[in-house]
Chain A
Amino acid sequence: MTWLYHPLQIPLGLIVWGMWFIALYSGLSVGCAIGPPDAAAGPWNWLNIVLGGASLATVALLLGLSALCWRASRRVGKDERAKRFIARVGASVHLVAVLATLFIALPIVGLPPCV
């Protein structure tokens, strides 16, 4: 599990979040271009369900990675502070990314996508 102490763990959560955000916005735009759902149907339509599902999957991935980082931070010895720092900051950043994903995705359950 040495990859959990790699310095890329520090920004990884927010990189995943960034990719999700790009997918969310471009997915919405492409979805509206190829098959816009009926606005009268409200928020429960194929496009919102796809976007919401992708968001929940991202949250699950980020939560898992955060937990792994946190456990990794507890495994290192006292003289391995650099490793502990990376794992702890990584766990925190993944958690921040979870909150950011949930908060930004929240409008999916309240608004139709293409109006």
Chain B
Amino acid sequence: MIDGRPDELHQQFEEVWGNPRGWRAATIVNHTRIGLLFLLTGLGFFIFGGLLAMLIRAQLALPDQTFMDADTYNQVFTMHGTVMMFLFAVPMMEGLAVYLIPKMLGARDLVFPRLSALGYWCYLFGGLILAASLFLELAPDAGWFMYTPLSSLPYSPGVNSDFWLLGITFVEISAVTAAVELVVAILRARAPGMTLQRMPLYAWYILTMAMMIVLGFPPLILGSILLELERAAGMAFFDVARGGDPILWQHLFWLFGHPEVYIIFLPAAGLVSTVLPVFARRPIVGYRWVVVAVLTTGFISFALWVHHMFTVGIPHLAQAFFSAASMLVAIPTGVQVFSWLATLWLGRPVYHVPMLWLFGFLVIFVAGGLTGVMLALVPFNWQVHDTQFVVAHLHYVLVGGMFFPLVAAVYYWLPHFSGRMPSARLGRWGFWLVFGGFNLTFLVMHWTGLLGMPRRAYTYAPGLGWDVPNLVSSIGSFIMAIGIATVLVDVLLHFRFGVRAAPNPWHADTLEWATRLPPAAYNFISLPTVDSRYPLWDQPELAKKMARGEQGLATVAHGRRETWGTDAVTGEVREIIHLPGNTWLPFAVALVLSVVCIGLLVKAYAVASFATVVAAILVLRWSWENGAHEESGIGVPVSAGDPPLHWRTHDGPGRWGMGVTLLADGALYAALLFGWFYLWTVAPQWQVPAQSPLDARGLLANALLLSAATLWLRRVLAALRRGSDKGLCGQLAAVAALGLLQSAHLLWLMYTSDLAPKGTAHDAVIAVVLGYALFHCVLAGIAIALQAWRVHYGYVDRAAPYEPIVLGQLWYYNLGVMWSAYVALVLFPSTWGGV
């Protein structure tokens, strides 16, 4: 439907979607701005991490250097790894996806814009807290994987490790929120007609990456919480003398850490699969094979983590399983490489600057992959474990596999960011300096490692054969730095001197090139219907029709921000997703959470507790401004023939978002149960009390009480689905009261138990399991009480039944947690020699 001429339409859209300036810019939630903020902040942290790398290479250039002492060096290399992995690589890849995915899918925004904004601010504040530690000379110094017992209190008594544990956990909120957002947007907010098999390959890659984050990050979040509880509260998890096991940390860390490599690589490979066919001027060869390969890589990457632990004393057969899986993962990666080569072979390639970086990627990443296969072999792995060879390998994989495609992507999408084209000359200089410098640094470093130089040594004596290769590596690293500076200068200059970009300047096939350059906050004034995998190639008039407002949802007079909600498989329109506008809430929540973080760091627990309460109130306010709330622009009904707004349905994006969030939550809980069973099985000095500290009957009664409340809620929701809201307010209030009663009972059980979490790992894990259950039950109780209140205000009823249905999933999840906790804590020990 068209309300007027395109210019008038753009003006109307600008009024609803426009970004405020000045200090109110902190309220912006739309994905284009948030994506750009992620990219710019990631660039800042990249430069910070790069400067730390320069310090490392300056220190190692010559033997017996006194440029840095051992303590400073430990902080510098730990921060280099931490910044590059957590503050650059992952946020950069997610930021680019946040920017690109809605545009590629033909949508106006991601489905939870406030969540995107919260993720960004958590990333910024968490990153700044972590970076500040270096300037306070209190930076983490136990290596970026923080192995216990080195990172435990007796061996790291300062706050250095706390900065890492709290700062990184804070930043990880950002990674997980963006992942939830991306999964749901890809599955539920595609352009009409964009069936699964018509989805751009980049969306498949990002879907896989996001699901990997959802399942892969929680084990590290759990590990960080446990280690911080051990350090700050004296609880026992990794302390052998109290029945813990430091190897548990290694498992939790690498359960996250190895998928992390592919979490970084897969989106970069997605960029390659997007950019390369455009310059080869033909569709990618083997679309379906690539989809299968991406999924396979995503899954198998979770079965490799123990190859980082081959030297800790795991049985040979177990090592062989992980060795085989580590070799196997090269095959789906190889399928993608052959697909790219075949696309070039069968296409009519044209060589612009992005193609140079793709060439660099192919050479370096394949070399890194081959040394990866070498490291998968157990005997070789033992030989080079903890040497510079491993450092060289990981830089080949990560710089080759992520940085080179990223720069290719930056050059490719520069017209999007500036409306101008990049320069070829400086771009080529930048590439060759980086490519040459990189290989000089890291190819030689393999040799240094094979000569036996350990990683993380702050200096070395002359005459060990390491002098020349270290000097060569250091020279190479400075050449690489000059190359990166050249690229940065080129990008900066192009904003002033670049030639104005024509629409779709590379003649690409994907929908992000149908926007203005640079794009408006709302992306498109009308949303396309696609009938092809390559819409801009096969529907040449589509971009113009969209700009003229001749496609779908071309009305904004109602004042709402809207985009299509479509079926996950068929891409058929199901509802209109009603998006929230700009708000201070995400910024405020992140700011208050950073107070919590700092409060915990300086052990000002009263401040941290108070800030936690404030954050909870803000989050509840956030949930209040939803659906039929008067600030949501609900006055004007949808146009005749259009589907309903999502909160008038039973199955909008929030339901999917809750499902994906609970998957992440479940991964954390599963990792906790893994820790419980792991310690029972292999902890060297596992200690079980003679008498169970738990009231088994009380716990059973508690689980039964929760079951009763959940079944009641289920009946209420079933009635609501049938269109009946009779007694809704009272029933929801009663369910909430029952749930909160159960929470109070659980708290009483914990209070009156004989748990000694500072005494044994056994009791510490039980305390965390019960604390986890209690937190979730209280959350569910308060949330459903709030729903009862919303019914009272008329925001929830049979015409707007959505929110209680979304929350129902949390109650079912909690029920699963309580009963599995009962089985694990009460029933299992009696079968395993315990009480």
**Which residues in A have some Cβ–Cβ distance to B below 8 Å?**
7, 10-11, 14-15, 17-18, 21, 24-26, 28-30, 32-33, 48, 81-82, 85-86, 88-89, 92-93, 96, 100, 103-108, 110-115
Contacts and interface: CB of A to CB of B under 8 A. Distances in A.
Contact of B292 (A18, A48, A93): A93
B539 interface: no
B117 to A, nearest CB: 30
Nearest to A14: B299
A113 B302 CA distance: 22
Contact of B320 (A14, A26, A107): A107
A11 B318 CA distance: 25
A18 B570 CA distance: 28
A85 B316 CA distance: 41
A83 to B, nearest CB: 9
B318 A28 contact: yes
Q: Which among B195, B288, B318, B677 has the highest number of chain A CB atoms within 10 Å?
A: B318
B45 to A, nearest CB: 33
Given A82-B196, A111-B320, A92 B569 contact: no
A110 B303 CA distance: 20
A81 B532 CA distance: 12
- Top 8 nearest A-B pairs (CB, nearest first) are A107-B320, A85-B197, A14-B299, A82-B195, A111-B317, A104-B324, A92-B292, A113-B317
A89 B291 contact: yes
Contacts of A105: 321
29 contacts: A7-B196, A10-B295, A11-B295, A14-B299, A14-B300, A15-B299, A17-B299, A18-B303, A24-B321, A26-B677, A28-B315, A28-B321, A29-B681, A81-B195, A82-B196, A82-B569, A86-B196, A88-B288, A89-B288, A89-B291, A92-B292, A96-B332, A100-B300, A104-B325, A107-B317, A107-B324, A108-B317, A111-B317, A113-B317
A36 B677 CA distance: 18
A82 B318 contact: no
A114 B682 CA distance: 13
A107 B295 contact: no
Given A103-B324, A104-B324, A107-B321, A115 B316 contact: yes
A104 B321 contact: yes
Q: Which among A18, A104, A110 has the highest number of chain B CB atoms within 10 Å?
A: A104
Contacts of A106: 324
B485 to A, nearest CB: 43
Contacts of A96: 292, 296, 332
Contact of B681 (A17, A33, A112, A114): A33
A42 to B, nearest CB: 11
Contacts of A89: 288, 291-292
B356 interface: no
B568 interface: yes
Interface string B652-694: 0000000000000000000000000100011000000000000
A112 B317 CA distance: 7
Nearest to A88: B288
A6 B283 CA distance: 27
A93 B328 contact: no
B321 A93 contact: no
Contact of A18 (B291, B302, B321, B332): B302
A32 B315 contact: yes
Contacts, number: 91
Interface string B795-821: 000000000000000000000000000
B273 to A, nearest CB: 16
Given A24-B321, A88-B288, 11 more contacts: A7-B569, A11-B295, A14-B299, A26-B677, A82-B195, A85-B197, A104-B325, A107-B317, A110-B320, A114-B315, A115-B316
A77 B328 CA distance: 36
A82 B296 contact: no
A18 B299 contact: yes
Interface of B: 195-197, 288-289, 291-292, 295-296, 299-300, 302-303, 315-318, 320-321, 324-325, 328, 332, 568-570, 677, 681-682
A7 B183 CA distance: 14
Nearest to A100: B328
Contacts of A10: 196, 295
Given A7-B569, A14-B295, A18-B302, A33 B317 contact: no
A114 B319 CA distance: 11
Contact of B682 (A29, A88, A112, A113): A29
Contacts of A114: 315, 317
A102 B523 CA distance: 48
A114 B320 CA distance: 12
A10 to B, nearest CB: 7
Contacts of B300: 14, 100
Given A7-B196, A85-B195, A85-B288, A14 B317 contact: no
Contacts of A30: 681
A93 B299 CA distance: 11
Contacts of A25: 318, 321
Given A18-B302, A96-B296, A104-B328, A86 B315 contact: no
A115 B316 CA distance: 6
A36 to B, nearest CB: 9
Contacts of A111: 316-317, 320
B426 to A, nearest CB: 43
A94 to B, nearest CB: 10
Contacts of A113: 315, 317
Nearest to A82: B195
B300 to A, nearest CB: 6
Nearest to B567: A82
Contacts of A107: 317, 320-321, 324
B140 to A, nearest CB: 30
Contacts of B682: 29, 33
Contacts of A29: 318, 681-682
A92 B288 contact: yes
Contacts of A33: 681-682
B481 to A, nearest CB: 41
A75 B509 CA distance: 31
A11 B332 CA distance: 15
Nearest to B318: A28
Contacts of B569: 7, 82, 86
Nearest to A95: B292
Contacts of B328: 100, 103-104
B303 A104 contact: yes
A93 B295 contact: yes
B322 to A, nearest CB: 8
A110 B316 CA distance: 11
Nearest to A24: B321
Contact of A81 (B197, B320, B677): B197
B641 to A, nearest CB: 24
A89 to B, nearest CB: 6
Contacts of B302: 18
Contacts of A14: 295-296, 299-300
Contacts of B289: 92
Nearest to B320: A107
Q: Which among A10, A82, A106, A110 has the highest number of chain B CB atoms within 10 Å?
A: A82
Nearest to A92: B292
Contacts of A21: 303, 321, 325
A103 B329 CA distance: 11
Contacts of A115: 315-316
A100 B71 CA distance: 45
A68 to B, nearest CB: 17
B566 to A, nearest CB: 12
A6 to B, nearest CB: 9
A90 B310 CA distance: 34
Contacts of B321: 21, 24-25, 28, 104-105, 107
A14 B291 CA distance: 13
A23 to B, nearest CB: 12
Nearest to A6: B569
Nearest to A83: B569
A30 B680 CA distance: 10
